[in-house]
Amino acid sequence: MLENSALCYDLHSHSIASDGVLTPTELVARASKCGVDVLALTDHDGLSGVPEALLAAKNHDLKVVSGVEISVTWNKYLLHIVGLCVDHTNQILNEGLKKIRNTRTERAHEMARRLEAYGIPDVLEGVMKHANGEVISRSHFAYFLIEKGYAKDQKQVFKNFLVSNKPGYVATEWATLEETINWIRGAGGIAVIAHPARYKMTATKFRKLLAEFKLLGGASIEVLSSSHSFDESIKMSAYAQKFDLYASQGSDFHRPHTQYVELGRLPKMPVGCTPVWESPEWRV
Ligand code: AMP
Ligand code: MN
Ligand code: MN
Ligand code: MN
């Protein structure tokens, strides 16, 4: 392995254990081919892909970080909090995630009911063909609706069916920020705000979020993300420094051949940030 600063870190990715399309083994192989040295698997609300990813890493010159991306409701906003370096066998974390997955299943039934009432037949069966059964995501609804010709791509399908005020949208109460950070820290992990520039918040609200996150034991924000423009990364780098938060980076890879998103393809971390892998809590 290369010296630390020269390593390629990708600390946000998905497999079929949530809404990605590659198995953990395929994901690790692809990451290795893409030049990633340290890959975090961060599936939505579940850790079931982690053991396979850890095993697959043994066949490559690459380290896997156990991670998760947790769905949180904070002041009516849907936030994603990534946990890095978590003990994936931790009982309290796993119980918390199980509760969220149950909410996902209930939501999926209600989404299917509404889309069927709207006139689309056999939604639940169709969606379940794309999901692994454990974590049902809006992405699986998107894959189904595109397959059936109701939309031409992911962007359109969300815009027309899966967001607020559209026929398939169901408002949902996820975990609290406090319990999420406690679960992650209780499992020895580091809490990271995922793709922070994606939340449509005023600057005042965003500063309130960062202050509260920090107070509750949150440690890091994603400065570099495929969701961020260059300007947004620079802005997040300034916030990270101002709030004394470590800087993380991740592609948020879900599937191959997605425009602009590939494993390990991230710009250089802006100068002045302290990368999350320099945190004392970091372990691989
Ligand atoms: P869920 O967690 O089930 O509500 O689904 C959210 C997932 O859908 C995210 O993790 C993304 O992978 C995907 N997603 C959310 N919003 C969009 C969007 N506007 N366009 C494309 N994909 C999206
Ligand atoms: Mn996703
Ligand atoms: Mn996310
Ligand atoms: Mn993600």
| Ligand 1 near 140 CB (within 6 A) | no
Q: Residue 119 Cα, ligand 4 centroid: separation in angstroms?
A: 30
Q: Which one of 13, 14, 19, 42 would you pick to mutate in the ligand 1 pocket, going by the greatest count of ligand atoms within 8 A of its CB?
A: 19
Q: Treating both helix axes as pointing N-terminal to C-terminal, what angle do 177-186 and 91-118 enclose, rounded to 10 degrees?
A: 140
- Whole-angstrom distance, CA of residue 200 vs CA of residue 57: 37
* Residue carrying structure tokens 């971390």: 269
Pick the ligand that lies closest to the CA of residue 108. 1
- Ligand 4 centroid – CA 253 distance (Å): 7
Q: What is the 3-state secondary structure (H, E, C) of the chain?
A: CCCHHHCCEECCECCCCCCCCCCHHHHHHHHHHCCCCEEEECCECCCCCHHHHHHHHCCCCCEEEEEEEEEEEECCEEEEEEEECCCCCCHHHHHHHHHHHHHHHHHHHHHHHHHHHHCCCCHHHHHHCCCCCCCCCHHHHHHHHHHCCCCCCHHHHHHHHHCCCCCCCCCCCCECHHHHHHHHHHCCCEEEECCHHHCCCCHHHHHHHHHHHHHCCCCEEEEEECCCCHHHHHHHHHHHHHCCCEEEEECCECCCCECCECCCCCCCCCCCCCEHHHCCCCCC
Buried b (16+ CB within 10 A) or exposed e, 4-33: eeeebbbbbbbbbbbbbbbbbbebbbbbbe
Q: What is the pLDDT of residue 133?
A: 81
Nearest Cα residue to atom 6 of ligand 1: 138
CA of 198 to the centre of ligand 3 (A): 9
Among 158, 170, 222, 255, residue to substitute to test ligand 1 (most atoms within 8 Å of Cβ)? 158
pLDDT at 144: 97
- Residue whose CA is at the smallest distance from ligand 1 atom 12: 139
Backbone angles phi, psi at 221, to 5 degrees: -130, 150
State the distance from the centre of ligand 2 to the C-alpha of 254, rounded, in angstroms.
7
Instruction: Give the mean pLDDT per block of 10 residues along the chain (284 residues).
Output: 70 97 97 98 98 98 98 97 98 98 97 97 96 92 97 95 96 98 98 97 97 98 96 97 98 89 93 96 94
Ligand nearest to the backbone CA of 18 = 2
Closest ligand 1 atom, CA of 139? 8
* pLDDT value for 5: 60
* Ligand found nearest the CA of 155: 1
Tokens matching residue 17: 């254990």
Question: Would you say 8 and 36 are in contact if contact means Cβ atoms under 8 Å apart?
Answer: yes
Closest CA relative to residue 138, chosen from 187, 178, 104: 104
Q: Give this prediction's pTM.
A: 0.97
- Residue 1 has a pLDDT of 38
Q: Does the C-beta of 19 come closer than 6 Å to ligand 1?
A: yes
